[in-house]
Amino acid sequence: MSERKPKVSIGLAVYNGEQFLEEALDSILAQTFTDFELIISDNASFDRTAEICREYAARDSRIRYHRNSSNIGGANNENQTVKMAQGKYFRWAADDDICAPTLIEECVKILDQNPSIVLCYSRVKLIDNLGKEIGSPSIGRAESKDAFNRFRSIAKARDNCEQTYGLMRIDVLRETQLQKNYTNSDRTLLAEIALYGEFYEISEYLFFKRMHLRNMYLDWRTRMAWFEPSREGKIVFPWWMQFFDYIRVIGRTPLPLKEKLSCYLFMAEWLLIFGKHLLKDLFVAIYMALHTEDWRIERYDATKNWS
């Protein structure tokens, strides 16, 4: 490794990603902005992932390949790439998505020119297994000058949090709690980042999010095992975890008291919007408790498709 630090760090957490991994790596290595490191954290994959990663790392010195000895959970693996990063800016990447060649270059320009912007992302096209475009999702905005309005816009959104794949200021990202171990914690993280500064959306479609069976929700609660494998078969309360996490996030950020109070008051509105999900957490917990742990494990195995 050279002592000179790259300007951009890209963190790619992967688990059994052989199907699309090479295409994802090729799109990153083809970026017109070249001053980056690519940190690959392999979560103890048992397919050809390790072989592919080592082959690419041998060809390109910008790649740092790390392999966990065991599965540490999906979010923990993603957070690990942040801790290993050396750049000024950071971006998460996935093993199944594609970046247009100018994505990093355009995002770097925005962050270099606008100190108030903490996260820059482009418009998104959804693609299928074969790379065919199948839609373009709407994305929650956080472009206001006001921290409360940014927080509210993210926490109320019902999108798939594609802004998580934006380019961020790593010093801001490291002020956060990163991703926690519950479903939809990426939204909580985005809401926390939004309390530190503005987001910016590039009007071009430079990011292509692949939709396939391995990254589509089958069950909101059994996906908790992706975050923490030891939770398989356990009774979980993801919506309650997120609610209390929002409260913690507001309290830990360096906002004036008036803005914090506005965010706390918004959580009453959040309860009105998402209260039915909190109730469902309770009802599902009762239902799961009426069954044996073996039955719950079988249900998890049947629906925890995310990898």
Number of domains in the chain: 1
Q: How far apart are CA 262 and CA 246, in angstroms?
A: 13
pLDDT at 299: 85
Residue 238 has pLDDT above 90, yes or no: yes
| 266 inside domain | yes
| 270 inside domain | yes
| 262 inside domain | yes
Closest CA to 250 of 267, 275, 238: 267
The 10s digit of each residue's pLDDT in 131-174 is 999 999 888 788 999 999 999 999 999 888 999 999 999 999 99
| 36 inside domain | no
Statement: the pTM of the whole predicted model exceeds 0.85: yes
The 10s digit of each residue's pLDDT in 18-42 is 999 999 999 999 999 999 999 999 9
Identify the H or E element spanning 31: none
Give how far the C-alpha of residue 146 lies from the chain's centroid of Cα atoms, to the nearest Å.
Answer: 24
| 282 inside domain | yes
Six token digits for residue 307: 């990898």
Give backbone dihedrals phi and psi of 233, rounded to 5 degrees, phi first: 85, 0
Query: If 0-12 CB within 10 Å is exposed, 13-18 middle and 19+ buried, where does residue 240 land?
Result: middle
Q: How far apart are CA 230 and CA 173, in angstroms?
A: 27
| 154 inside domain | no
| 293 inside domain | yes
| 68 inside domain | no
Owning domain of residue 276: 224-303
Q: What is the DSSP letter of 88?
A: S
Residue 247 has pLDDT above 90, yes or no: yes
